[in-house]
Each structure stands twice: as C-alpha cells, then as structure tokens.
Structure 1
C-alpha cells in the first residue's frame, strides 16, 4: 500500500507517537488536569503544559499559555471566528478557503456580518493585492489559509501581516496545511494581533483529536462554549483568560502527549530538512507527471508550496481515477472537492474535482516512480 493522502491525515506516524498514547493510558498515571492536588491530576496538568511548551517553541512563541489545545483545526477556527468576530463586522477571506473557514463565516453572515472574497487567478493563486480594495470601515479581520489544501500554494503571509498591521485588523490564519510542512516561525518580526490555527493529525504527526490555537498580540476573545474549568468555579462565566476560555471540560491528555512526540520527531529531523525533503518529493512528482500528456495539472509548483500536487487523468472524474488507483494498485489519494468548493468553482472543476497527491516524510522516491508508471498505464 502506498499512502499519498497525508493532507487529510498522516496515517504513518513515528513509533514514539503511538507509544506515548499507549503509555499514557497503560501507566494509569494521568487523571483530570486542574481537578485535584493529587499526583494523577498534577501529572496531567504537567503533561499538558509540557505539550504547550514544545508547541510554543516549535512555532516561536514565548508564552506557552498563549497556546490553546483543542480537538482539531476546525474546532479552533470556529472558536477563533466566533470568539473574536460579531454579526456587525466585515471580514475579508479568499476563494481558496476550506469549509472549516467558510462555514463558520457563512453562519456569521446569516446573523448579519458581511464577507468579501479575494479571487484566485488562473493558476490558483490568491490575488492578495486586492486586499486594499476589499477594505471597508467595518472591516474587523482577515481570515485566510496558510496554504491551499487543494494546490498547496502558500499565501504570502508577510504581505497579509503588513496589511493587517497597517489597518489595525485581526488576522486568523488556517495553518492546517502549513504546520509541519512549511518552516514557519512566529518570531523575528512584528505581527498583527492574530490567531494561528493548526491541527495535530496531519503533518505534525500527532493523533486525531489534537490541534490548537496560538494567540499573538493583545486579543480578548469572548467565550463560545462554557463548562468545567477546574478554576474559579463560583463564577457564572467561563474564565476569560487564555487558555482556559477555550479549554472547557476534560482535556485529551493521552492524545496530546502523542502530539508532543510528533513535534519532537520534527524537531529531531529539523524543520529545514523536513521542508527540503517534502519539497523534493512534491517537485519531483510534479515535474515527472507533467510529462504525461494525458494528465491535466491546474497549478504550478513552487518552492514555497506545501507538498501537494492535484491533477486529473484523461477525461475521467477525479473519483474514478482515485478509485482505480486504490482498487487496482493500492495507492491512496483523495478525489473530489476537498471541502473547498469556492476553489473548485474558480478552477472550473466543480463537477469533476481533482485527484490530490500529498506527501509526508515517510514517502519515498521509489513510491513516486511506481505511481508515475501506474498513471501511464491508466
């Protein structure tokens, strides 16, 4: 079996990840964090803080308590959008966004908010130079992807940072495809008030059910959900400090300890080497598959792209091609619309979709050569 659906979930994880989850459960040492003074509770609290610290260091954040641990990037984006924006705001986003951004914004729009969409050019790049003309007096935030989950094309975040600083806007970044594939650090320059949302189960090699939000600057989100926090129990409201305002109920300590090991794996490899390997795999595949006259490629592949190549074969639907790849050749890919309907509408593939190949550090050039041969056969 060859697995090229890493943008959905990295199935192959470092052994240390599964062992960390197993040991956390099997040891019987982890109770409910912040719910007692005994060792079981303190062990869980310490484990979560250790995870926050490693995440903070990985992304270049000084304060680990600016890291909120949630169950996935979708949850994080919903919390950030609902916690920071209101029905009176205008929001700028793009046609490259995933439904994890679009649907929360559409819900806000149904309540009275307004949305402007930055279009895509013919090669799938967000036309971020149109940010200025999208600006209104009521504009509160820009919500934008770090890299498209269909094409891998990365957004020029430096340009967006400067625009948000200049216009005093909040920035919410969907880092689902950038975290662990692009060497991105929140240090070394001035940033706007922003939230970076990431998920653990993709290129950070953590278990499903992990992810987070990283807060930069001076933001005061409102609570979206409420419940037990283990502190300030006589307050009728959810505690309004980070990370507690978005961490309600019992945390997933076992899986977060797995995420900790996934990020350690990346640290041990070094993110520069990780980024280089992923780029080499995707670039090789892109260049070689482009020689196949029966393959349609929709985007160019650049050094800054996440390791994703999407295509179609002959006149087949993307679903048919993905089915052939799996049923006959045991190659796992992702066909369809990838939860990015506006992207496919822009690229003219609403009905057909695309076949997405996405790579991890566990993939090899030998696997790529095999799939290139298979595509010739198809």
Structure 2
C-alpha cells in the first residue's frame, strides 16, 4: 500500500494515520488544482477529502480504512481500456492478515460503473447504477463481487450501446502516474538538488614574500606614530602639580597656616590638611608650574565653612587672573574645577586658593592641574 496527501499525521500509540486535504482555491481560480488524499492498494485507487487508516497495534498489521466525503474507488478493467468506478459519501474498507483490502462498503449516494466479464474473460456488459449502499468483495487483487443495496436504478449495457461520454463518473481522476513504487519516487517531483561549490583555500604565501620591505617600513612607522601620540595624550592628562595632597611642599603661602588633621578624605582612607588665615585680609596659598601656555584645568576637593576663591593666574608680570571662582564651602566634600586658556607671554602659570580668612575652616584634598586637549 502507498499513498500521498497534503498533510499526514501518524499516532503510533493509537495506530491511527490521517491523510488530510488542505483546502485549495475553487476551480474558477487561476492555476487552482484539486488534489485529494489518495491511497493505492494493489490495483485499487481510493480518494476522498480525508482518509483514516487504522492499524492493529497488537498484531502489527493494517485493520481498516475510512474515506470521508467524496469517496471514490477506481480499478482498471483487467483486459480493456475502461475503469471500474464506485463513488459515494463514505467508504469503509477492511484488510486481511496479508494487509490486502478484501471488503469495501460505499455508503450513501453510491454510484458505480462495472465491467462484467464471464469465465473466459469476455466482456458481457457494462453496469451503471445508483444505490444507497454498495458492498464490494475483492479477491486476488481484483473485484470479485459487487452487491447493491437499496438500488434506485441501473442497467447493464452492451459495450456498443454504452456511450463513451457516460463511462466516467463525476469526480473521476485516475492518478496512476503519481503512484510511488519506490523510496526514490517520493522525491521525483522535487527540484534537483544543487550543491554549492566550496572553494578551497588559496596557496600559502610565505610571510617574507607577502610583507615586502616597503610595507614593513610603513607598519613600523605607524606603530611609532601611535606610540608618540599616546605619550602625548598621557602627558597632557598628567597632574602638573608636584604635590597634590601635601599643601606644605611646593605650595607657597601668605598669611595661611597649613594644619595636618584626622579628618578623612572622600575616599574614607586618607587624612587631609586644613588651612586657616592667620589674620583678616587676602590670605592665600599658591603653586606654580613651568608651562607658559595652553588650556589648563584646576580641580580640588573642598569642604568646611566660609567663602574662598579658586584662581588660575599668571605667575609674574602683572599677575593677570585668567579665571576666578568664588566657593561657598559646605559641610560635605565636593569637587570644584575651573579652566582657562593662557597665551605664551613668557610668564609661567600658577593656581591659587585665596581670600582665606581667620574665621574660615577649609579642608583640602587631591588637587590637580592638567592640560586640556
């Protein structure tokens, strides 16, 4: 037995196999085709909207089949060119122990065309009839007997008296050319398999031949330029102040006292310094560097009480102030930053913490002066 359908569902536990028809556009639609599920058993072709095959899971054999709606059974006449045909609403078939179909019932609105032959295989006539039920017995792969129950009408015609245009029932579709007779036939309608050509690797080129002298020189020059550029960026980001935490070393003061305290820095690890004005007036602390031009950024962490100023200033000449920030100190740490550009006039740069009064409390930590790209 073989078959095909739009969709096949198999339940190995229950032994039920379902061949299901997928609805297609109506016959009036362009390019539409109506192909119902189909089964071939020996010389018999069966079609319908849905086909169920029931297996006996204990004996591991076919048990029965049911064709639902538009059931159609066709077998070719053994000697002539005609076809034995039976159709109806439903078909129920039974299998013997050899998995051969031996009993078929066509139920409701059954029609048949059957070629009768005698013992000498001579054609006796062609029977065409309508019945409520048709029972078919099959033996040795051929229809042995046809029984019509509740026959409505029918007649047996000599072949010469039976019009050729009436020898086909409505819905007839002989599909023997689709029948798979081997595993290979299952794939005969598939497009040919085209395997892509996999290109192998190119021949190996030794490194000394691939990297010529000119290319090697360009690579080395690029590495050197990147290294110089990297060092330049690092230098610009380097802290230009020689002492960022200790405000006694390298810092100069006027009227300011630097005191070491046990107050912790923002990192909760280091102890910080405190500055106090010795008297009223402009008391200040400053640190100068050797650079004479560029764009500079001065940053410092502060907390305390009072108001002071942060300044970027010319160190020498007329002591021009390039940037001034007034800072109202708070009781929690905060980072303050100012930036300014200085042209090259031969004078150096310095940063100042000024306007420190004797009533102010100023804690300082982590000062830095960097050049901006």
Verify same fold: TM over 0.5. no
Structure with bigger strand share is: 2
Q: Max radius of gyration: which structure?
A: 2
TM-score normalized with structure 2 length = 0.19
Determine which structure has greater relative contact order: mean sequence separation of CA pairs < 8 Å that are 6+ residues apart, divided by chain length.
1
